[in-house]
A = this chain, B = another copy of it.
């Protein structure tokens, strides 16, 4: 498995030592073709779907039982790492290959999937792959959205050989008959390392509210304007950043609130700033708590602005609800860890994943393996081999149960 991961990372290997596989580019196409050929070598029925997702099927003996999908995404961010997405793709197909070799035909059909796109790195949209499979994305967007070079998503699809009918109808990529979805992925955080666990079982994928806040005051001469006569937009914004951090700390985990971008408009060392813009990113596994925090925070920001004679304007750019993972699948993952003596814990996912599109449609679960230093989206992204293997072992165990074992006859 480690060798396959290494080989996959050669497709899209970039000059900076990372991996860049953007949707529908040549390295991307090569990687998906390699995935198909590996799946076939492992004895799976493998092919592209209409938009470029790759499915590798291990057909079961009970076709009336809904299949379980397992996989992740093949695309990367620009100059990303070897593990994000790719580990889930490789682990999934090899798990099915191993199960077929060891146990033959399963009762329930198992399918490994390599989604064409999740990161949103080339086009300004994400989940293009799992979005099609779950019916939450359609080709209607493909003519409207273009990459940095002005190539539309539809043109890019066609260039990669995915020639859509493009008559405005949803593309026939949606899958109706799915029993469950299990995804193994790197944590992209430091909690597992900090808690000394090899496996994380995801309780929920956090919801997210993204806002842009514009603070306006008066731009003034830094030498001639006494402190008490200022309407300093940056001093106000600094107080807002501080209260955001303080309220997030008080609210406690799993809430996080981040000001990631802050810009002083026309900022010069000798001018009192008149205008500042910053972003707010608020995440929580619980929708009402996320909303309540957001309202309380914005009220505080308004108070700060009012007290300082500043004005603020807020624009909401995103509101995604949290998605819970299924208890049954999660318990099975935990049992598999316990049986093998693998240290594990439950934790929320602060990042988005393909699993969040499946969560509302079918039982879904995620297995996390530790990220050294919490680093991801970087050539330095790394997970210890022992942890990758523990994750793989857990995935195989759970798929065996649902494909061949006691849970193979469970209605999902």
- A residues neighboring B (CB under 8 Å): 187-191, 194, 206, 208, 210, 220-229, 232, 234-235, 237-239, 241-242, 245, 248-249, 253-264, 267-273, 279-281, 283, 317, 349-352, 374, 376-377
If A210-B269, A279-B269 touch, whether A188 touches B224 (CB-CB below 8 Å) is: yes
A272 near B260 (CB under 8 angstroms)?
yes
If A234-B259, A235-B245, A242-B238 touch, whether A189 touches B225 (CB-CB below 8 Å) is: yes
| Chain B residues whose CB sits within 8 angstroms of the CB of A260 once the complex forms | 222, 234, 264, 267-273
| Chain B residues whose CB sits within 8 angstroms of the CB of A228 once the complex forms | 249, 253
A235 near B229 (CB under 8 angstroms)?
no
Q: Give chain B nearest CB distance to A59 CB in angstroms.
A: 37
CA gap between A317 and B317 in the complex, in Å: 39
Q: Give chain B nearest CB distance to A248 CB in angstroms.
A: 5
A223 near B206 (CB under 8 angstroms)?
yes
| Chain B residues whose CB sits within 8 angstroms of the CB of A269 once the complex forms | 210, 258, 260-261, 279-281, 317
If A190-B229, A227-B248, A245-B232 touch, whether A222 touches B258 (CB-CB below 8 Å) is: yes
CA gap between A280 and B272 in the complex, in Å: 11
If A224-B188, A376-B221 touch, whether A270 touches B242 (CB-CB below 8 Å) is: no
Q: Give chain B nearest CB distance to A200 CB in angstroms.
A: 11
A351 near B189 (CB under 8 angstroms)?
no
* Residue with the greatest number of chain B CB neighbours at <10 A, chosen from A189, A194, A227, A271: A227
CA gap between A86 and B75 in the complex, in Å: 62
Q: Give chain B nearest CB distance to A289 CB in angstroms.
A: 15
If A238-B238, A245-B232, A350-B223 touch, whether A261 touches B264 (CB-CB below 8 Å) is: yes
If A235-B245, A245-B235, A350-B223 touch, whether A263 touches B267 (CB-CB below 8 Å) is: yes
| Chain B residues whose CB sits within 8 angstroms of the CB of A258 once the complex forms | 222, 232, 269-272
A226 near B238 (CB under 8 angstroms)?
no
Kindly report which residue of chain B lies nearest to residue A377, judged by CB atoms.
B221
| Chain B residues whose CB sits within 8 angstroms of the CB of A349 once the complex forms | 223-224
Q: Give chain B nearest CB distance to A241 CB in angstroms.
A: 4
> Which of B221, B263, B280, B350 is the one whose CB lies under 8 Å from A351?
B221
A189 near B221 (CB under 8 angstroms)?
yes
CA gap between A194 and B258 in the complex, in Å: 40
CA gap between A279 and B234 in the complex, in Å: 12
CA gap between A190 and B228 in the complex, in Å: 11
A262 near B234 (CB under 8 angstroms)?
yes
> Which of B208, B227, B235, B350 is the one whose CB lies under 8 Å from A259?
B235
Q: Would you give 14 A-B contacts (Cβ < 8 Å), ordered by A?
A: A188-B221, A188-B223, A191-B224, A222-B281, A223-B283, A223-B351, A224-B349, A224-B374, A228-B249, A258-B269, A258-B271, A261-B268, A262-B267, A269-B281
